[in-house]
Amino acid sequence: MTLVRILGIDPGLVRTGYGIIQAEGMGRLKFIEAGLIRTSPGDNISGRLTDIYSNLTDIIREYRPEILVLEKLYSHYKHPTTSILMGHARGVICLACGENNVKLINYPATRIKKALTGNGQAGKQQVQGMVKSLLGLKTLPRPFDVSDALAMAISYVYIEGTNSAKGRI
């Protein structure tokens, strides 16, 4: 049976969470790797974006995911600067996908939460608990940047179904 590697990314300028799973037929999921790409808030934005891009490229080259799932950008009218800065991080993530021939998928946060918990308004703790359960982890994946990234990867399997990813899951 063919396996598909899926990389979920929770982008941020200070902490970018990543989570890699492997999916195979009948919705079976296997945890591969997860962690954080950290940058220093004191560095200029070009240096921070370079760090995110470089580290993500290394992760892609080491683990060879076929699909990268990224949360769609959401902008709250009270915090437009946050969305603009997040857009910079998303841009280098999209570039890393393009340069490494990784299929890029974008879902809204509510769709990811609904796919995992059945509730599009689920809290971070509920999502974190479902990630732990679905991947058979012994402890909760922490911090939330990591559990959110794993949730994105898992959501792909539930949203696209068992015959997606080039017909191979």
Query: Domain for residue 27, yes or no?
Result: yes
Token readout for 158 is 């539930």
Respond yes or no on whether the N-terminal peptide bond of residue 143 is cis (omega within 30° of 0): yes
Question: How many alpha carbons lie under 13 Å from residue 84 in its C-beta half-sphere?
Answer: 6
How is the beta sheet containing 67-71 ordered, strand by strand? 28-38, 15-24, 4-10, 67-71, 103-107
For residue 145, indicate whether it is catalytic: yes
The CATH number assigned to the domain holding 23 equals 3.30.420.10
**148 belongs to the catalytic site:** no
Q: Residue 55 domain-assigned?
A: yes
Low-confidence ranges of the chain (pLDDT < 50): 1, 162-169
Give the number of domains in the chain: 1
Q: How far apart are CA 149 and CA 8, in angstroms?
A: 5
Q: Are 88 and 36 in contact (CB under 8 A)?
A: no
Of 10, 51, 148, 160, the active-site residue reads: 10
> Which is the catalytic residue, given 51, 145, 148, 160?
145
> What pTM did the predictor assign?
0.90
Annotated catalytic, 71?
yes
68 occurs within a structural domain: yes
Residue 113's pLDDT is 93
Residue 148 maps to a domain:
yes
Domain range for residue 133? 4-160
pLDDT digit string (tens) for 62-101?
Answer: 999 999 999 887 666 666 777 787 889 999 999 999 999 9
